[in-house]
């Protein structure tokens, strides 16, 4: 707390072809946001999952909104298990729950959690992680 380090180093793996802001999709609500507005959860190669606030860790990652509702849904629906192809341990779940508790319940975002006008379904906002049938 209070100890926020700002590192401006760029990760070398960034693709240079895209000038636009990279976007990622929340694995729960499927909303697409600039990568930095989402929180990355990474499966470590040695096992376990961590919350990767820097976006720099190696490993298979999944993105969630910075809002508790998405994290709760993710835990409830085992969305991370699917996305990361991992079985979360009780410890992992506890870590995620603790983190979720520190987030605002919902972001103030008209695109999320509000009912849309009827007839404006759009299905084109998927998806970087496919749902998997068990």
Least gap, CB of 64 to Zn ion (angstroms): 6
Q: Which of 62, 65, 79, 100 binds Zn ion (CB under 5 A)?
A: 65
Q: How far is CA 39 from CA 24, 63, 68, 119, in A?
A: 10, 5, 11, 31
Distance of CA 42 to the CA centre of its chain: 9
The answer to the question of residue 39 lying near Zn ion (CB under 5 A) is: no
Least gap, CB of 60 to Zn ion (angstroms): 18
- Which range, of 16-24, 39-47, 69-77, 89-97, touches Zn ion by CB under 5 A? 69-77
Least gap, CB of 93 to Zn ion (angstroms): 18
Give the other-Cβ count within 10 Å of 66's Cβ.
16
Q: How far is CA 3 from CA 6, 39, 57, 99, in A?
A: 10, 19, 20, 17
Least gap, CB of 70 to Zn ion (angstroms): 3
Interacting positions 12-31 with Zn ion (CB under 5 A): 26, 28-29
Which CB, 74 or 88, lies closer to Zn ion? Answer: 74
Contacts of 106 (CB under 8 A, 6+ apart): 67, 68, 69, 112, 113
Which CB, 88 or 107, lies closer to Zn ion? Answer: 107
* Residue of 25, 30, 29 whose CA lies nearest to 40: 25
The residues of the shown chain that bind Zn ion, judged by CB under 5 A, are: 26, 28-29, 65, 70
């Amino acid at each position: 707390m209070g100890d926020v380090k700002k590192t401006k180093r760029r990760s070398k793996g960034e693709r240079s072809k895209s000038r636009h802001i990279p976007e990622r999709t929340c694995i729960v609500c499927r909303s697409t946001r600039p990568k930095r507005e989402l929180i990355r959860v990474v499966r470590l190669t040695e096992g376990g999952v961590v919350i990767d606030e820097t976006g720099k860790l190696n490993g298979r990652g999944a993105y969630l909104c910075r809002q508790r509702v998405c994290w709760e849904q993710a835990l409830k629906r085992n969305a991370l298990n699917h996305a990361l192809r991992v079985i979360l341990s009780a410890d992992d779940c506890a870590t995620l729950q603790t983190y979720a508790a520190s987030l605002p319940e919902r972001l103030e975002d008209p695109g999320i959690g509000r009912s849309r006008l009827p007839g404006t379904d759009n299905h084109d906002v998927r998806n970087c992680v496919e749902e998997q049938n068990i």
